[in-house]
Structure 1
């Protein structure tokens, strides 16, 4: 078996991101905070911005729905940079090992087009990737198969004739890993860097 390309998700694999970092300060009570992040600034709302909806538009829509929470809703993107905890060192080490071995690396991330430039400027590790598909830029989000096809079309110029079974995709969301596997890729559900590296070694990669 020959793997010719490895595609990384970013949040939860390479970059530590959590709304908890902001909302623990704003909503100290855990039950109240959990309710807010489940029912108001919920992940399905975040994914709409990741899919290309302008942040201002998404914020206005949510405030119209929950006017009593306006201050807390505005904080989500006004203080978004505080939700970034930094690079996950073990994930970055996996990237560095593969890069050092000459394995072509690519990125596929659900991320707002408006906030991604901060990550690009802040984290040099992202420059290890030959190309990055940012969901907010292409207006598609994982696990939609269309965004994987977009990624494949970006890989093709670097590795002409590459087949699905020659691509590995690593994501901390099992649905996304499964979506890649359904297309013939090797989907790796990332639970820890050690487990991911063990799976990559099974696939013949030098980590």
Structure 2
């Protein structure tokens, strides 16, 4: 039997807030094939992940422009229009987060996020300031699903890994948490999250 859960850790992107680069880029690069090429070859997921690891946007833009100078304007548009990529919160998930807090549970957050965009998100979404604290990947130079970021978060916030429940939309990140000795659930929607929290005796 797993230990009773005493700590809950939320991922943020696609768990508490929506993220979709296609929102601005469907306007910036209207052609579907050209846009697909851009995301697969220019501003790729791996390229963006380096900002989550702590790389400065200016350095990221310079690197991408050196590879694809013909896409200079579109590359610079990525950071410029980032705010459009996170248009709204997942209200159902926020209800669950606030229900846990209201019930007195220990809640923190662990996110792969660039530092400046995370601070911007905190200004826009009040609930990102309501937990006991957050580990932002770019600010510690570590990234999920690497084991080190889970260990650092647990140490920083005094969590017992075996009594910690992690919530993330990414299965590699869920597996990373389990490998670090945490309990973890895969987020798909707020209804499933509610059931997971009830099954763990939290709500």
Output the TM-score relative to the length of structure 1.
Answer: 0.93
Partner of 2:156: 154
1:143 aligned counterpart, secondary structure: coil
Please name the residue that 1:159 is paired with: none
**C-alpha contact (below 8 Å) 2:18/2:89 kept by paired residues:** yes
* Cα displacement (A) at 1:49: 0.6
Instruction: For residue 55 of structure 1, report the CA deviation from its aligned partner.
Output: 0.6
1:194 is displaced (CA, Å) by 1.1
Unaligned runs of 5+ in 2: none
Q: Cα offset for 1:31? A: 2.6
Q: Measure how far apart 1:29 and its partner are.
A: 2.2
SS at match of 1:16: coil
Superposed, which structure 2 residues align to 1:3-152 within 5 Å?
A: 3-152=5-154
Aligned length: 201
Partner secondary structure for residue 12 of structure 1: coil
Q: Structure 2 CA distance, aligned partners of 1:32 and 1:185?
A: 41
In the aligned structure 2, how far is the partner of 1:154 from the partner of 1:131? 10
1:163 equivalent in alignment to 2:160: yes
Structure-2-length-normalised TM-score: 0.95
Quote the residue 2:188 is aligned against. 191
Gap runs ≥5 in structure 1:
157-161
In the alignment, the residues of structure 1 paired with residue 11 and residue 110 of structure 2 have an alpha-carbon distance, to the nearest angstrom, of 5
SS at match of 1:17: coil
Report the CA distance between 1:35 and its aligned residue: 2.1
Q: What CA distance in whole angstroms lies between the structure 2 residues aligned with 1:101 and 1:47?
A: 35
